[in-house]
Amino acid sequence: MASLHKPLLLDIPFDHWDWDEVPKYRREQVRKWVFEKGFLDWDQMSNLPKSLKSDLSEQVDLSPMEPVKVQGSSDTTKKILWKLRDQQFIESVLIRATEGTKGVRASRLTLCVSTQVGCALGCKFCASGLDGLKRNLSTGEIVGQILLARNEAGRRIDNLVFMGMGEPLANLPALIPALDTILSPEGLGIGARHITLSTSGLVPKIIELASYPAQIRLAISLHGGDDETRKKIMPINDRYPIEELFKACEQFIEQRKKMITLEYILIKGVNDDLKQAELLAEHANRLNAKVNLIPYNRVDGLEWERPDIEQVKLFHKTVAEGDAPRVTLRMEKGHDIDAACGQLRLKEIKK
Ligand code: SF4
């Protein structure tokens, strides 16, 4: 793979690609190859002179990563394990879903993106945190996942969810410029309402994100209706208890005028009793938030289990009857997003 001593092209915003004596139209050609065609290989850029390609390849690296394993099927969920330039591993997940009503059905492709190698927050249901945090991803490593996953899928990606490995709000200095490139029509051109950031609840960063101009969506990993239950699952609750978290959410909603989502993974005997469902409905009402229920997906090395289907349905019914503004139950495809991300990487590093 490429040398780590060279800067990565995707770490530099394209309006800052300053190469001595390279005419502007040549930079525009490179931009089109990278963002429109997704070519991260100088040799494939057929309309550039050989001498220029050779010069540029001396100055910058194009590809932040290479795929080492692809698991799953292209009609449902496909996980991709990437090897970065420093031999670390991360994962992205492509999720295909058919949406729409009656005669109008469309296949939508969502990419679950990682923002860190590992994670420091140690949520108890998650494989990504089992080995701690190795490092933050760079802007180019975040954008690169999308370009290369789009190549892997062979089609446009409709939605992005930052729910892969890592806590996105813990890496805002790299994530914000990545979002600028993702949103720009000259970059990836994905609309803000198709982008969701999911946070475990880093209160100061939620407040910081409220000032970001684009209308990206925010999802909160709640997973417990009261502090006692939530802290069994999410150690971050000791730093930012539920009331403090909700005050930050209220500030975000007030500033952005945007509905947020409360994510809730249902774990047997831990947070799936109906008292928790009632509390969840109360919280959703207070924040005027959507609720997304996700039955737990088993993670190797962890003891927890998915509740029985009857309990899942009862929990769902209780939240819905508590007049939560909107409740969805994500039975299958989505579970990889939250619970199982990080498992491929753990297997790879334990080899
Ligand atoms: S759920 Fe997210 S924040 Fe929690 S440990 Fe996993 S990657 Fe980190």
Cα gap 36→185, rounded to integer Å: 10
Predicted pLDDT of residue 335: 40
Instruction: Identify the DSSP state of 270.
Output: T
Contacts of 245 (CB under 8 A, 6+ apart): 201, 203, 206, 220
Predicted pLDDT of residue 350: 63
106 Cα to the center of ligand 1, angstroms: 31
3-class secondary-structure state, position 12: coil
Predicted pLDDT of residue 265: 95
182 Cα to the center of ligand 1, angstroms: 23
DSSP letters of 88-113?
-EEEEEEEEEEEEETTEEEEEEEEE-
Q: What angle do CA 169, 170, 176 make, to 5 degrees?
A: 55
- What torsion do the CA atoms of 87, 160, 344, 127 make, to the nearest 10 degrees? 110
Decide yes or no: CATH 1.10.150.110 for domain 9-59. Answer: no
Q: Which amino acid is at 71?
A: Q
The answer to whether 116 touches 171, Cβ cutoff 8 Å, is yes
171 Cα to the center of ligand 1, angstroms: 13
Q: Which amino acid is at 25?
A: Y
Annotation marks residue 254 as catalytic: no
Cα gap 328→33, rounded to integer Å: 39
Cα–Cα distance list, 130 to 201, 238, 282, 299 (Å): 19, 19, 32, 10
3-class secondary-structure state, position 41: coil
**List 91, 141, 167, 263, catalytic entry:** 91
Per the listing, tokens 């998915």 go with: 306
Q: What is the pTM of this model?
A: 0.92
From the list 131, 192, 181, 168, the residue with the least C-alpha distance to 344 is: 131
Q: Which fold has domain 65-349?
A: TIM Barrel (3.20.20)
Query: What is the chain's Cα-based Rg?
Result: 21
Quick one: CA dihedral 226, 330, 207, 128, positive or negative?
positive
Q: Would you tell me the crossing angle of helices 274-287 and 309-321 to the nearest 10 degrees? A: 40
Q: Is 126 in the pocket of ligand 1 (CB under 6 A)?
A: yes
Predicted pLDDT of residue 303: 83
pLDDT by residue for the chain (351 residues), tens only, comes to 555 678 999 999 988 888 878 899 999 999 999 999 999 999 999 999 999 999 999 999 999 999 999 988 766 789 999 999 999 999 999 998 876 655 556 789 999 999 999 999 999 888 887 889 999 999 999 999 999 999 999 999 999 999 999 999 999 999 999 999 999 999 999 999 999 999 999 999 999 999 999 999 999 999 999 999 999 999 999 999 999 999 999 999 999 988 999 999 999 999 999 999 999 999 999 999 999 999 998 877 778 999 999 999 999 999 999 988 899 998 754 444 444 566 667 666 666
Cα gap 344→149, rounded to integer Å: 16
From the list 183, 298, 282, 192, the residue with the least C-alpha distance to 242 is: 282
* Number of residues assigned to the chain: 351
Q: Is 168 in the pocket of ligand 1 (CB under 6 A)?
A: no
Q: Domain segments of the chain: what residues?
A: 9-59, 65-349
Annotation marks residue 28 as catalytic: no
Phi, psi of 17 (to 5 degrees): -75, 95
Predicted pLDDT of residue 339: 41
**Burial status of residue 46 (CB atoms within 10 A of its CB: 0-12, 13-18, 19 or more):** exposed
